[in-house]
Amino acid sequence: MSPRVGVVLFPGSNCEQDVVEAIESLGGEAGVIWHGATELGDVDAIVLPGGFAYGDYLRPGAIARFSPVMGPVADFARAGGPVIGICNGFQVLTEAGLLPGALQKNAGLKFLCRSVTVRVESTRSALTNQAEVGQKLTIPINHFEGNYTCDERTIAELRDDDRILFTYVDNPNGSTSSIAGICNAARNVVGLMPHPERACHPLLGGTDGAIVLRSLLAAAGARSGI
């Protein structure tokens, strides 16, 4: 049996099918969960995909955090289930308080869609357990609000607890400490701005994203005892 990944669909999400396709291409099972759902069903991991949930009205993630599904997602996270936020999903996780900090507008005040190189800083997480520290991965970014920021105490905590998972080699958006991805204290909730699902096929410019999503499948499989 393959690990089962639930991909949450908010109105305005747009990367949900891409994540499903990438997960399935790596041998996982994936299905879409409607944002109005009050239970997650039988899943081993949750992905909040990229897009513009609720049109990014007010702020990215500010309205999506109130969707009914976010209650069960928080419960699942508290119980140790892997919860991954990609791009807009990362923004939703910070708004929901499941990850610290916030994502503000890119320093260049322009939307950026291009490949970047990120360095793996820690392999102790639901999204990096199949990578190596210092490994450089080429994965596309696609965001206007990807400039990670937090207070000094939080950044110290993230550093001290080895919770910075990815940093940009050439910081494209002004993120504090070049942060591209972090995890929570329990290491099961992860947010990252790059889109690993966009780098899982040789015809689409590389397969480094598969290393990241295989880590998710491994974490999901470990949880379900596969």
Partner 1 sequence: MTEPIHRALGLTDDEAVSIEAILDREPNHLELAMFAVMWSEHCSYKSSRLHLRRLPTEAPWVLVGPGENAGVVDVGDGIAAAIRIESHNHPSAIEPYQGAATGVGGILRDIFTMGARPIALMDPLRFGPLDDPRSRWIAEGVVSGISGYGNAVGVPTVGGEIVFDATYKGNPLVNVLCLGVLPTDRLVLGQASGVGNLAVLLGSSTGRDGIGGVSVLASAGFSDDESESAKRPSVQVGDPFEEKRLIEACLQLLDEHLVVGIQDLGGAGITCATSETASRGGVGMDVDVTAIPTREPGMEPFEIMTSESQERMLAIVEPVGLDRVLAICERWEVRASVIGVVTDGDRLRIRDGFEGEVLADVPASSLHDAAPLYDRPRQAPGPSSAPGPDSVAAPADAGADLVAMLTDTSWVSSQYDHQLFLNTVVGPGGDATVLRLKHPGTGHDTGRALAITVDGNHRWCAVDPRRGTALTVAESVLNLACVGARPLAVVNCLNFGNPENPEVMWQLSEAIDGMADACRAFGVPVIGGNVSLYNESAGVSIDPTPVVGLLGLVDDLTAVPPGARLTEGHRILLLGPDTSNLAGSRWAADRGARGGSLDPLGYEVHTAVADLTRALVIGGLASGVHDVSVGGLGVALAEMAVSSGVGFSVARIADHRALFAEGPSRVIVVVAPDMLATVVAMAEHASVAVTRLGLATGDRLVIKGLVDVGLADATTQWRDRLPLAFGSGSTH
The residues binding partner 1 (CB under 8 A) are 11-12, 14-15, 17-18, 21-22, 51-52, 54-57, 108, 110-114, 140, 142, 144, 195, 197-198, 201-205
Minimal distance, residue 167 CB to partner 1, in Å: 19
Nearer to partner 1, 140 or 221 (CB): 140
SS (H, E, C) the chain: CCCEEEEEECCCECCHHHHHHHHHHCCCEEEEEECCCCCCCCCCEEEECCECHHHHCCCCCCCHHHCCCHHHHHHHHHCCCCEEEECHHHHHHHHCCCCCCEEECCCCCCCEEEEEEEEECCCCCCCCCCCCCCCEEEEEEEECCCEEECCHHHHHHHHHCCCEEEEECCCCCCCHHHEEEEECCCCCEEEECCCHHHCCEHHHCECHHHHHHHHHHHHHHHHHCC
Nearer to partner 1, 202 or 225 (CB): 202
Minimal distance, residue 106 CB to partner 1, in Å: 11
Minimal distance, residue 175 CB to partner 1, in Å: 17
Minimal distance, residue 46 CB to partner 1, in Å: 21
Nearer to partner 1, 76 or 144 (CB): 144
Residues with catalytic roles: 87, 195, 197
